[in-house]
Structure 1
């Protein structure tokens, strides 16, 4: 289990425990975190679970694969260094303390 902090665009923080094996997107969905829509259900077929990863965590996450890179092209104001799709980040104990911030909107 990992404690993950989701920060809405307006600054509201949601700190939740997400079980190992789920994705960061599933943790948001299961805890009714606003700002992550996950329209495709985690199939990496949209960009509606886009977040900005806290700079301290960018290098600690597994690298983006080509499909995630392609989908991020459709995200709202992607940041080349910090943008990730939460459906592609699998939760493990190593992610305990992860902080992600939602963009102003999902498209």
Structure 2
């Protein structure tokens, strides 16, 4: 954001805004980050993820997992068992979000203090 302020150049601001918008497009909604967080603790089956995330429906979880898989943040593995076992895991690309998620968590904690008057 400093670049936009210092240069007052609309092209530079656009260069900064577009990738942020792209990231928000991929991670939008209230479920994608909780799913990614659930998988940072290891590969899980569908029902295990569902239990980790209070309030998500199976239909929504399925949709969000597909979106995350398309964006290469989550990998779906079907094991050759009877019946077939499906497992989801975070990819290396998905792990690259760790720093950003930590920063969001820290900001959220500070924001909560600010709003609640505990600053």
Fold shared, TM-score > 0.5 on shorter chain: no
Say which one has the larger Rg: 2
Structure with the larger strand share: 1
Higher relative contact order (CA 8 A, sep 6+): 1
TM-score, length-normalised on structure 2? 0.29
TM-score, length-normalised on structure 1? 0.31
Structure with the larger helix share: 2
